[in-house]
Chain A
Amino acid sequence: GQQLNQSPQSMFIQEGEDVSMNCTSSSIFNTWLWYKQDPGEGPVLLIALYKAGELTSNGRLTAQFGITRKDSFLNISASIPSDVGIYFCAGPSNTGKLIFGQGTTLQVKP
């Protein structure tokens, strides 16, 4: 079935650093969604991407829909302690289910 491979699994960075994470698939997706989950809470939608090559920003976050439609990237600039959490990529399958990557756990050292 369709799968999303997200990397890295975890990151431990210094406050102020930029962060990059990505999501890849062996099959094509028509939508890419990026979520952030704070500890003990449900995931919150950060950015939605609908067109190959699309680049969308939300504050310090920027996400890109890969041209091949098989990957997507999320960048966080100038990280701050409240960026801590788990970041998930997701996409809808052919059958309407939402498929999620395994998540990238981000820790920020002040």
Chain B
Amino acid sequence: DVKVTQSSRYLVKRTGEKVFLECVQDMDHENMFWYRQDPGLGLRLIYFSYDVKMKEKGDIPEGYSVSREKKERFSLILESASTNQTSMYLCASSFFHTGKTEAFFGQGTRLTVV
């Protein structure tokens, strides 16, 4: 079974704190993604990575950074958490092989910034 694991299901952090969200996949996938999900706004891409140490900005990268030092791990960093970053964060990984693509998600991290 494919597995994408996010380090926390629920987090409560204070405004101004530096926050790390960790994601690990065991499928040897090249691509990894961080999305944020808010009611009525669907899934919005924050950053994605297509290889170790490679990253590209998504649609809403402001206030976030990422790190991918190893293929299996993709970290999302909130440099200085703000209340408008309260949201559900979803990590995904995907493969692309012989014209086929599939992506798998972690269970999500619900972050509350107070």
Same assembly: yes
**B108–A98 touching, CB < 8 Å:** no
Question: Could you say which of B42, B45, B102 contacts A97, with CB atoms under 8 Å apart?
Answer: B45
- Contacting residues, chain B, for A78 (C-beta < 8 A): none
Q: For the complex formed, measure the closest distance between the CB of B8 and the CB atoms of chain A, giving whole angstroms.
A: 13
Question: Could you say which of A41, A95, A98, A102 contacts B103, with CB atoms under 8 Å apart?
Answer: A98
**A45–B43 touching, CB < 8 Å:** no
User: Which residue on chain B has the smallest CB distance to residue A95?
Assistant: B56
**A102–B99 touching, CB < 8 Å:** no
**B102–A30 touching, CB < 8 Å:** no
**A42–B100 touching, CB < 8 Å:** no
Q: For the complex formed, measure the closest distance between the CB of A72 and the CB atoms of chain B, giving whole angstroms.
A: 14
**A45–B103 touching, CB < 8 Å:** yes
Question: With A31-B100, A92-B96, A103-B42 given, is the CB distance from A98 to B106 under 8 Å?
Answer: no
- Contacting residues, chain B, for A44 (C-beta < 8 A): 105
User: Which residue on chain A has the smallest CB distance to residue B6?
Assistant: A42
**B100–A50 touching, CB < 8 Å:** yes
**A42–B105 touching, CB < 8 Å:** yes
- Contacting residues, chain B, for A97 (C-beta < 8 A): 33, 45, 48, 56, 58
Kindly state the separation between the CA atoms of A24 and B22 in the bound complex, as whole angstroms.
33
Whether a CB of chain B sits under 8 angstroms from the CB of A101 is yes
Question: With A33-B102, A96-B31 given, is the CB distance from A102 to B110 under 8 Å?
Answer: no
Kindly state the separation between the CA atoms of A19 and B39 in the bound complex, as whole angstroms.
22
User: Which residue on chain B has the smallest CB distance to residue A48?
Assistant: B102
Interface string of A37-48 (1 = CB under 8 A from B): 000111111001
**A31–B108 touching, CB < 8 Å:** no
- Contacting residues, chain A, for B110 (C-beta < 8 A): 40
